[in-house]
Amino acid sequence: MDIIKELGTELGVERWQVEKAVELLDDGNTVPFISRYRKEATGSLDDEQLRKLEERLDYLRRFEERREDIRVAIEGQGKLTEEIVRALEEAKTLNELEDIYLPYKQKKKTRASVAREKGLEPLAALILSCAPTYTPSIEETAATYVSEETGVESAQDAIAGALDILAEDIAQNAAFRKVIREGSMRLGTLNASAAKEEDSVYAPYYTYSEPLTKVRPHRYLAIARGEKEEYLRVSVKVPEESVYAYLAREIITSADSPAAPLLFATIQDSYKRLIAPSIEREIRADLAEVATDGAIGVFAQNLRGLLMQPPVRGKVVLGYDPGIRNGSKLAVVDATGKILDTAVIYPERSANEKERARKTLCTLITKHGVDVISIGNGTASRESEQFVAETIKDVERDVKYVIVNEAGASIYSASKKAAEELPTYDVLERGAISIARRLIDPLAELVKIEPKSIGVGQYQHDMPPKKMDFTLGGVVEDCVNAVGVELNTASDSLLSYVAGISASCAKNIVKYREANGRFASRAELKKVPRLGDKVFEQCAGFLRVSGSEEILDCTGVHPESYPAARQLLSMFDYSPADVRARALGGLAGKIERAGRKEVAEKIGVGLPTLEDIVTELEKPGRDVRDGLPAPILRADVMKLEDLREGMTLRGTVRNVVDFGAFVDIGVHQDGLLHISEIADKYIKHPSEVLSVGDVITVRVKSVDVAKHRIGLTMRDAK
């Protein structure tokens, strides 16, 4: 296989782009670095394309290794033929490779291997090729194999053994298996039935049957989980007669042959006993892989939306971690995330406790000048929202509140990382602090939590850990590097996601900073122990050093492009002071008039790098998140009973799944925006239109107060 050609076809890009990207990856360059600072080399492949390329490159290389391993193994047995070599070269999937290798694998004892040991292979060959005019009879020929020495006790015993050999040969025929697998996928159905006589969330699948070609990924994941939890029995059904007819055409040379009935019975045995169970496992594995890839893709997209939510800047925030048994934990932090105060209240216990809680909350708001209350969306969230909405009415201050995703807060609170960062606060207080800080800067706070613990997906706990970690880790890395990191304030958790910086290197950076004070420049990074030239090359452009004498240290311009940036400024009579004063608004226009291509050539860079330099010079220190919709800050709360069909509301997308999205519209229950209600045109997946954190306008389509269900639509919602 030409891996480069295959990757180019899959990605829809030119061969030279793939070749250069592979070369850069093999040289140890990171995806964010290649995507941002090697655009000319790869034709501006973005981080998503590069992630896919990296993953598929690994798969295809492992595929080629397996192909070669199989070839060597068969050759070692002295059985490698030109036909097998050709079949190996033409194989496109791992299943096809394994089918070719199946007859040559070391096997446990089988009925066929026992028959072979008894010397019945010639009889099997005779039955397979038996002509209509064959004499003497098959039974008479079989009788000649009866022997105490081999253990063949009768003619019927000999025939049965020969047929076992043929059944195994049929089952191990790669061509047969390929046709049957493809036919099964085309004609088969996935079936489920109740394994327990009790109601459950899997009840919709107690009498389920659907063509394999129409099984949606989220349905398969639900069915697989139901089977795992022993609520469902699951099977794949295939029209057996069509399989028998196909195999009969391939195997039985003449219907008049005396062996025809034996061969047809063997075909049935081979399929039911050997082929069908194996093919069903493969089909279900393929369904699981597709569903898993889809679910991880949805999770990754949702995680990206959550991480890239814009920070709430310049506000004093009160983090509110709702609770019942242990009370609700409060933590006030200033605009930089510094902790100002903490408290615990018990508004759910009694009227007296509720009044005491109200006074505590009012005191904290007034004392510290709280602007926004960040309420976690866990247990008792909506009750807490109601309590907060009622309380802030009594405060002589313009205070708003917002519901934030608190997923992973409890995990972080009990982690070693939290203990290191917040040693004087207990586990419960840390949760409230995290909820407050994730409003101030969601990205900086959420990187402290394992990506898979941030629950914004479907069936994330059923996903293969290695694949999940690879994909989600890539998402976090891409988000961190897209935003950039302030070198003098970033935690080691945040630094560890910067391109090229390992966890140990991140700790070294923080230790150096603690021992020597603030970094004065990017160049000073080279003094950090074990941070070599390669790491510096990868990470430097993504780190910002506010206050550096070198203004370019505050931008996304890579140090390798500093000379080009300075030459560009000089060419159009600008100075570094103009960059600092943000007085370069006309630079892009001047370059356009001078000719972009000519300017790029003069300063020695390509057009993509020129465009990036100009963007950074015009808006030094910019945050790409600032252009995204800010979270909705509320002062009052509606009840489910207040909703009416036709009402138009603003809401925040909390989760995107295969069948739609869940939207927070400010009542006690998120509304469901079904995929059919997202757009006036057909869309394959909600993620084509929506992302977590999007602020959208929706219309209430239906309300079921008894079942706490809200149906929403974006169609005609204005």
Domain boundary among 380, 412, 440: 440
- 388 and 427 share one domain: yes
- 89 and 126 share one domain: no
Report whether pLDDT(407) > 90.
Answer: no
- 133 and 275 share one domain: yes
Per-residue 3-state assignment (H helix, E strand, C coil) for 254-299:
CCCCCCHHHHHHHHHHHHHHHHHHHHHHHHHHHHHHHHHHHHHHHH
For residues 382 and 10, the model is more confident at 10
Q: Report which of 588, 484, 478 is spatially closest to residue 546, judged by C-alpha positions.
A: 484
- 124 and 36 share one domain: no
Q: Report which of 339, 406, 404, 411 is spatially closest to residue 374, judged by C-alpha positions.
A: 404
Distances (CA, A) of 323 to 320, 332, 361, 378, 429: 9, 17, 15, 8, 12
CA angle in degrees (0–180, nearest 5) for 570-572-578: 75
- 145 and 221 share one domain: yes
pLDDT for 289 equals 93
Q: What is the mean pLDDT of residues 517-539?
A: 96
Residue 665 lies in a domain: yes
- 135 and 270 share one domain: yes
Q: Report which of 509, 445, 501, 457 is spatially closest to residue 477, judged by C-alpha positions.
A: 501
- 621 and 651 share one domain: no
- 617 and 569 share one domain: yes
Q: Output the domain CATH number for residue 697.
A: 2.40.50.140
pLDDT for 632 equals 83
Contact 484, 494 (CB under 8 A): no
Residue 74 lies in a domain: yes
59 is written with which tokens? 């798969």
CA neighbours within 13 Å on the CB side: how many for 154? 3
Distances (CA, A) of 3 to 65, 98, 434, 669: 12, 20, 45, 49
Task: Give the relative orientation of helices 587-594 and 607-618 as an angle to the nearest 10 degrees.
Answer: 150
Count of domains forming the chain: 5
DSSP string for residues in 536-603: HHHHGGGEE-TT-SSGGGGSS--GGGHHHHHHHHHHTT--HHHHHTT--TTHHHHHHHH-HHHHHHHH
Compute the residue count for the chain. 718
Report whether pLDDT(455) > 70.
Answer: no
What is the SS3 assignment for 83?
Answer: helix
Q: What is the mean pLDDT of residues 159-166?
A: 97
Contact 695, 652 (CB under 8 A): yes
Residue 457 lies in a domain: no
Domain boundary among 238, 267, 298: 298
Report whether pLDDT(239) > 70.
Answer: yes
- 127 and 234 share one domain: yes
- 329 and 350 share one domain: yes
Residue 619 lies in a domain: yes
What confidence tens digit (pLDDT) does each residue in 477-519 have?
Answer: 999 999 999 999 999 999 999 999 999 999 999 999 999 999 9
Which H or E element spans position 343?
A: strand 339-345
- 249 and 203 share one domain: yes
Q: Output the domain CATH number for residue 370.
A: 3.30.420.140
Across the chain, mean pLDDT equals 92
Q: Which domain holds residue 382?
A: 316-440
pLDDT for 457 equals 61
Give the integer Cα–Cα distance in Å for 480 and 30.
13
pLDDT for 673 equals 95
Highest mean pLDDT among 196-205, 529-538, 667-676 belongs to 529-538
Domain boundary among 272, 298, 324: 298
Query: Within 10 Å of residue 301's Cβ, how many Cβ atoms?
Result: 21
What confidence tens digit (pLDDT) does each residue in 562-592 have?
Answer: 999 999 999 999 999 999 988 887 899 999 9
Residue 498 lies in a domain: no
Under DSSP, the state recorded for 392 is G
Q: Output the domain CATH number for residue 13.
A: 1.10.10.650
Contact 607, 596 (CB under 8 A): yes
Report whether pLDDT(235) > 90.
Answer: yes
Share of the chain above pLDDT 70, in %: 99
Residue 632 lies in a domain: no
Residue 182 lies in a domain: yes
Give the integer Cα–Cα distance in Å for 342 and 204.
47
What confidence tens digit (pLDDT) does each residue in 637-648 have?
Answer: 778 888 889 989
Residue 617 lies in a domain: yes
Contact 425, 436 (CB under 8 A): no
Share of the chain above pLDDT 90, in %: 75
Q: Output the domain CATH number for residue 222.
A: 1.10.3500.10
pLDDT for 456 equals 63
- 135 and 271 share one domain: yes
What confidence tens digit (pLDDT) does each residue in 280-336 have?
Answer: 999 999 999 999 998 898 888 888 988 999 999 999 999 999 988 889 999 999 999
Q: What is the mean pLDDT of residues 392-421?
A: 89
Give the integer Cα–Cα distance in Å for 321 and 214.
43
What confidence tens digit (pLDDT) does each residue in 545-558 have?
Answer: 998 999 999 999 99
Report whether pLDDT(462) > 90.
Answer: no
Q: Output the domain CATH number for residue 583.
A: 1.10.150.310
Strands 232-237 and 189-194: antiparallel
What confidence tens digit (pLDDT) does each residue in 190-231 have?
Answer: 999 999 988 899 999 999 999 999 999 889 999 999 999 999
pLDDT for 658 equals 87
Q: What are phi and psi of 255, to 5 degrees?
A: -70, -20
What is the SS3 assignment for 223?
Answer: helix
Under DSSP, the state recorded for 650 is E
Q: Report which of 81, 158, 171, 156 is spatially closest to residue 122, judged by C-alpha positions.
A: 158
Q: Please list the alpha-helical segments (H only) found in 1-154.
A: 3-11, 15-26, 31-37, 39-42, 47-76, 82-90, 94-101, 111-117, 121-129, 138-143
